[in-house]
Every structure is written in structure tokens, then in C-alpha cells.
């Protein structure tokens, strides 16, 4: 015949001091952890917007160069309803006093967290044969 061990009379539980220590530790760590998460989300959003702005600037700059619109067209605008937060401006100037090279600069701007942000791309265009 096998004998079954009796159940203990008292089960082990947390004491009040252990519970208060755990709550104090959580009260210290949770705000710091949440601030870190908040900063990571803000950095991620900033990186995403910079990437979008750089892609839009590259597309607009290519469009201006391929169509020769950089010589005659209005050098500012918006990207339409697909990208309502972004605007662009372009500028054309001689490059270091060389009249056969023109510098075309495009800047894409947007507002994030109440601050204006921007990405700028520049290229050179050879105009010697024109």
C-alpha cells in the first residue's frame, strides 16, 4: 500500500513588503521604459518622413531634368493629394562661375512636431551645347 504525503497547511505567498517593493520598482521603471518607446517611435516617424521626402525630391528633380522644365517652368509646387504634407522648391544657378555648368537644387519641406523639416538634393547640368 502506497502512502500519499499530506498537503502542507500553509501555502507560500508574497508578503506586503515584497508587494510594495515590486510596485515601487515598477513605478520607477515603467515611465522610463515608456519614454524610451516614445522616443523610438518619434525617431522611426522622422526616418520614414525623411525617406519619403528624399524619394519625392529625387523623383521631382529627375522630372525637371528629363523634361528640361528646370529652364522655364515654375520651380515650386506640391506633390498632390497623394503627398499633401510635402512641398518643393527648386533653384538654378551657375556652378562656381562656370557658365556651362548649372547647379539645380531641389528642397522638399514638411512640418513634423511643430517644426519645419527639409531634405535638399543638388545636381549639375551641363549646358555647353545649348
Give 44-65 pLDDT, tens digit per residue.
999 999 999 999 999 999 999 9
Q: In the structure, what pLDDT confidence band is assigned to residue 23 with cuts at 50, 70 and 90?
A: very high
How far apart CA 80 and CA 88 sit, in angstroms, is 11
76-78 sheet: strands from edge to edge: 76-78, 87-95, 98-112, 115-126
Cα-trace Rg, the chain: 31
How far apart CA 1 and CA 129 sit, in angstroms, is 108
The answer to whether the CB of 102 falls within 8 A of the CB of 90 is no
Query: 15 versus 12: which is more confidently predicted?
Result: 15
Domain ranges of the chain: 16-126
Residues 6+ apart with CB under 8 A from 75: 64, 89, 90, 91, 92
Query: pTM for the complete prediction?
Result: 0.74
CA 17 and chain centroid, separation: 45
Q: In the structure, what pLDDT confidence band is assigned to residue 35 with cuts at 50, 70 and 90?
A: very high
How far apart CA 111 and CA 87 sit, in angstroms, is 10
How far apart CA 119 and CA 91 sit, in angstroms, is 14
Q: In the structure, what pLDDT confidence band is assigned to residue 107 with cuts at 50, 70 and 90?
A: very high
Collapsed DSSP state (helix, strand, coil) of residue 6: coil
Amino acid at each position: 500500500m502506497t502512502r500519499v504525503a499530506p498537503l502542507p497547511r500553509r501555502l507560500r505567498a508574497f508578503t506586503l513588503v515584497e508587494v510594495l517593493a515590486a510596485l515601487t520598482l515598477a513605478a520607477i521603471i515603467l515611465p522610463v521604459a515608456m519614454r524610451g518607446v516614445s522616443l523610438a517611435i518619434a525617431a522611426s516617424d522622422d526616418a520614414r518622413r525623411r525617406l519619403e521626402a528624399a524619394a519625392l525630391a529625387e523623383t521631382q528633380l529627375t522630372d525637371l531634368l528629363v523634361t528640361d522644365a528646370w529652364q522655364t517652368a515654375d520651380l515650386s509646387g506640391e506633390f498632390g493629394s497623394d503627398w499633401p504634407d510635402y512641398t518643393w522648391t527648386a533653384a538654378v544657378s551657375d556652378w562656381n562661375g562656370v557658365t556651362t555648368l548649372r547647379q539645380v537644387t531641389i528642397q522638399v519641406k514638411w512640418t513634423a512636431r511643430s517644426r519645419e523639416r527639409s531634405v535638399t538634393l543638388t545636381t549639375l547640368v551641363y549646358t555647353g551645347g545649348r
